[in-house]
Chain A
């Protein structure tokens, strides 16, 4: 028998191919750890990080930048959180747009574009999500990571079979352990996600936040879409905003936060801090169960044949426009809804207003694309 029979030579060749595949896949995995580029605009007065509120996060995947846009004039403090769920790009991009383009004329804004920073370092298994998407901004081609709904599983691997929320004891499926929007009010010696939630609660208290927004998206077949979810405290403001948005042909539903569903921002921020919370939802075909091929263009253009067919059949209750649901429309909605809530707040509090400048109108965003909001 020869020293190198054909099957051994084949094994060597296959090993070389495997090494090449490992190299390529390894590089792709590593790319997910490279931070996204956010270019602070002239409205940003300082940049802090979540670790400044909870030092335990220092050096972890969960630490995240906190941008301050301060007018220096009296007025309320508004918090905007994007990227609670990193597979919901409109929430993240709306927050980035505020950091890059907004100027605050009265009051101040605090923006955390990547609340669940850890979730931006991986994608959800079996979903076929793109790893990134690109769009043309005012000056260049910008590429952002498309992340996972929950924090990276390597942080607290393995998930428990049942996730027990602290402190209520509410039980949810084990993978919700890594869901930031089930972790509030968090726990200083808990899982990485509970620590992140703890840091955000501390930020809200330390900075005396008056109004807080958590930006989300959901699958087109989810009933709570184009909705403002709020705590009892926010009912009046949300209702006022809803009327204003309706007049602009941007219909929204008003949902009240269920008092017994724990861990969500609109419940725990409202119960545990003086802030009035609002959670905003838009439609995101990438998250939908009906979707066809899933790539970066579906994330940006929001055009999916299966959803179009479902819409045309009239048999499903989905939020999907025949022309698609591009990011411009979803980011535009988030920005308009935030402004509508703040306008209602200003009407009720003429003595301490918040005034924003530099956000184009919804029509302009649709016309010029979502990239026009970015540097």
Chain B
């Protein structure tokens, strides 16, 4: 159960990051957002 709550949280945060990524104008912040996205994607896909 905890596992799925965690996965759902990761998916939610990833979605927020994606929204932010397309609205953000500063390239530095965009790079940071994408870096944060990588581990979350790996977790949502159950790889990491």
**What residues of chain A have their CB less than 8 Å away from a CB belonging to chain B?**
7-8, 10-11, 14-15, 17-18, 21-22, 25-26, 29-30, 157-158
Across-interface contacts of A157 in B (CB, < 8 A): 2-3
> What would 14 more interface pairs be, CB under 8 Å, given A18-B37, A25-B42, A158-B2?
A7-B24, A7-B30, A10-B27, A10-B30, A11-B24, A15-B21, A18-B38, A18-B41, A22-B38, A25-B38, A25-B48, A26-B45, A26-B47, A29-B42
Size of the B side of the interface (Cβ < 8 Å), in residues, is 19
Instruction: Please name the 5 residue pairs, one residue from A and one from B, whose CB atoms are nearest each other, closest first.
Output: A14-B34, A26-B47, A18-B34, A11-B21, A7-B25
B22 at interface by CB-CB < 8 Å: yes
B31 at interface by CB-CB < 8 Å: yes
Smallest CB gap from A122: residue in B:
B48
Across-interface contacts of B41 in A (CB, < 8 A): 18, 22
Q: 23 A–B contact pairs at CB < 8 A? A: A8-B22, A10-B27, A10-B30, A11-B22, A14-B21, A14-B30, A15-B21, A15-B34, A17-B34, A18-B34, A18-B37, A18-B38, A18-B41, A22-B38, A22-B42, A22-B45, A25-B38, A25-B42, A25-B47, A25-B48, A26-B45, A26-B48, A158-B2
Q: Main SS of chain B's interface residues?
A: helix
A21 in contact with B38 (CB, 8 Å) = yes
B7 to chain A, nearest CB (A): 12
B25 to chain A, nearest CB (A): 5
Across-interface contacts of B2 in A (CB, < 8 A): 157-158
**What residues of chain B have their CB less than 8 Å away from a CB belonging to chain A?**
2-3, 21-22, 24-25, 27, 30-31, 33-35, 37-38, 41-42, 45, 47-48
B16 to chain A, nearest CB (A): 14
In the complex, A11 Cα to B30 Cα: how many Å?
Answer: 7
Smallest CB gap from B47: residue in A:
A26
A124 to chain B, nearest CB (A): 15
Across-interface contacts of A17 in B (CB, < 8 A): 34
A11 to chain B, nearest CB (A): 5
In the complex, A22 Cα to B37 Cα: how many Å?
Answer: 9
In the complex, A18 Cα to B37 Cα: how many Å?
Answer: 8
Across-interface contacts of A22 in B (CB, < 8 A): 38, 41-42, 45
In the complex, A8 Cα to B42 Cα: how many Å?
Answer: 23
A23 to chain B, nearest CB (A): 10
Across-interface contacts of B27 in A (CB, < 8 A): 7, 10
Smallest CB gap from B37: residue in A:
A18
Across-interface contacts of B37 in A (CB, < 8 A): 18
Smallest CB gap from B25: residue in A:
A7
In the complex, A22 Cα to B40 Cα: how many Å?
Answer: 10
Contact A30/B47 with A8-B22, A11-B22 known, Cβ cut-off 8 Å:
yes
A53 to chain B, nearest CB (A): 28
Across-interface contacts of A29 in B (CB, < 8 A): 42, 47-48
Across-interface contacts of B25 in A (CB, < 8 A): 7
Most B-side CB within 10 Å, residue of A7, A17, A29? A7
Across-interface contacts of A25 in B (CB, < 8 A): 38, 42, 47-48
In the complex, A8 Cα to B34 Cα: how many Å?
Answer: 13
Across-interface contacts of B45 in A (CB, < 8 A): 22, 26
In the complex, A297 Cα to B15 Cα: how many Å?
Answer: 41
In the complex, A338 Cα to B42 Cα: how many Å?
Answer: 43
In the complex, A123 Cα to B31 Cα: how many Å?
Answer: 27
Across-interface contacts of A26 in B (CB, < 8 A): 42, 45, 47-48
